[in-house]
Amino acid sequence: MKNICRRLFIGTVIFATALPLFAGKEKTEEQLIADLNSPKDKVVYAALQDLEKNAAAHTVKTNETLQKLCQNFEKAARDNAGSLLASAGSQMTRMLQERAAEVSREFSKGLESYTRNYLESIGKSIADLPQNMPGRSGR
C-alpha cells in the first residue's frame, strides 16, 4: 500500500508540476519553453522563478490529494477486510453446523443399532428363560 501511494505521489507530482503550471493566467507550456530558450537572462530567470513558485504550490495540493487518496484506499481496505471476515465467519458457522448435524446423525444411527441389538439380546434371553428354569423340563 505504501509503495502504491509512493508511486502515485511521484506520478502526481510530475503531472502537477508539468501541466497545471501552464493553466489560466499563467504562461502556457510553449511560452514557458520559449522563455527558457530565450537569450535574455532576465526572461530565463523569470521563467525559472515561475516554475519554482508554482511547483511548490502544486506540490502542496498534490500532497493533500494523495493523502486523501491513501486514506480512501485504507478505508476501502478496512471495509473489504471487515466484510471478508464476516463472510468467512458465516461460512465457517455453516460448515460447523453441517458437521455437527452429520456427527449427530452418525451418533443416532449407532445408538439405534446398539439399542436394537440390546433389545434383541434381551428378547432371546427371555425366550430362553422357560427352557432353563428348574422344574420345567421337556414340555
| H-state helical runs in the chain | 2-18, 29-36, 41-132
pLDDT for position 12: 63
Task: Please state the three-class secondary structure of 84-116 as a single string.
Answer: HHHHHHHHHHHHHHHHHHHHHHHHHHHHHHHHH
For residues 57-86, one letter each, b for 16 or more C-beta atoms within 10 angstroms of the residue's C-beta and e for the rest, the string is: ebeeebeeebeeebeeeeeeeeeeeeeeee
Per residue in 5-28, pLDDT (tens digit) is 566 556 665 665 655 554 446 677
pLDDT for position 53: 79
pLDDT for position 49: 83
Spatial CA neighbour of 34 closest among 53, 50, 13, 20: 50
The three cell numbers locating residue 7:
508511486
Per residue in 34-49, pLDDT (tens digit) is 888 888 888 888 888 8
Rounded CA separation 68/61 (Å): 11
For the chain, list residues with pLDDT below 50: 22-24, 139
